[in-house]
Structure 1
Amino acid sequence: MNDTLFERLGGTQGIKKIVDDAIDTHMNNPAVNARFLPYKDDPERLAQIKQHSVDFFSAGSGGPVNYTGRDMPDAHKGMNISPAEYMYVIDDIFVALDKNSIDEETKKEVLSILWSLKGMIIAQ
């Protein structure tokens, strides 16, 4: 594989679709939707969160994007996300990856990245 992870995820448009699908899945997942449903009433904030997510994953996967959002500990500070919630979110992301026909090797690389972020997000 010579393509970057960014390219294998479909570039900016592919990552945008994956983020949209993952957040839709979070909103329908009773284990985590309480954290996401309030954003339905604030579409500007939801759009901002989605854009930061697209930029974060684009930059982190080798794309030509400059992420200007907060770092993971600051972005999740005070949320007290549990290990179980984090696992549900990962599961939802994998639903989105499957929906977008992302191959197994690419999914393994995404999982590795998500796992590396765990300590920066859980119990902040």
Structure 2
Amino acid sequence: MARTLYNRLGEIKGITKLVDDVVDLHMGNPTISPRFVPYRDQPDQLRLIKQHTIHFFCAGAGGPQEYKGRDMVTTHKGMNISEQEFMAVVDDILEAMDVNNYGDKEKKDVLAILYSLKEGVIRL
């Protein structure tokens, strides 16, 4: 039986670590930090965003978690996210995957997911 992306990423524990690392990178990335740094003063909101992201990613990677948050279009509507910001997010995710020693197959699969979401994120 083939292992799902969820399994290959270390299930919820691995995905939680990945999301934590990605958010840390976003906080220091000058292209997108203005969107994330304000949440440093809102720890409850940041925790909620991370939890939604973890469940969204787990569900999308084949895990048993159910995502109960908003869809991509609703979440990003009115944010006017640029192509450069989207690419900065992608770069941070790939960097976090490198730090966590994920292989090329996992990175390729994650990139496929990210690019499938692109139209629901940019310039809404």
Distance in 1 of aligned mates of 2:122 and 2:9? 25
Amino acid at match of 2:70: R
TM-score by length of 2: 0.98
Aligned to 2:53: 53
Equivalent residue runs for 1:76-115 within 5 Å: 76-115=76-115
CA-to-aligned-CA distance 1:85-112 (integer Å, 9 cap, x gap): 0000000000111111111011001001
What CA distance in whole angstroms lies between the structure 1 residues aligned with 2:16 and 2:26?
Answer: 15
Aligned residues: 124
Q: Which runs of 5+ in 1 are unaligned?
A: none
1:2, CA displacement in angstroms? 1.3
SS of 1:57's equivalent in the other structure is: helix
Q: Which amino acid aligns with 2:78?
A: G
Q: Which residue of 2 aligns with 1:27?
A: 27
SS at match of 2:123: coil
2:39 and 2:3 map into 1 onto residues whose CA distance is 35
CA distance in structure 2 between the aligned counterparts of 1:60 and 1:123, rounded to whole angstroms: 23
1:7 and 1:99 mapped to 2: Cα distance? 18
Amino acid at match of 1:59: A
2:3 matches 1:3: yes
* Equivalent residue, structure 1, for 2:38: 38
What TM-score comes out, normalization by structure 1 length?
Answer: 0.98
**1:77 deviation in Å?**
1.1
Report the Cα distance in structure 1 between the residues aligned to 2:70 and 2:22, rounded to whole angstroms. Answer: 20
Q: Tell me the distance in 1 between the aligned counterparts of 2:9 and 2:76.
A: 25
- Structure 2, unmatched stretches of 5+, are none
Runs of 4 or more consecutive aligned structure 1 residues displaced over 6 Å after TM superposition? none
- Letter of the aligned partner of 2:44 in structure 1? E
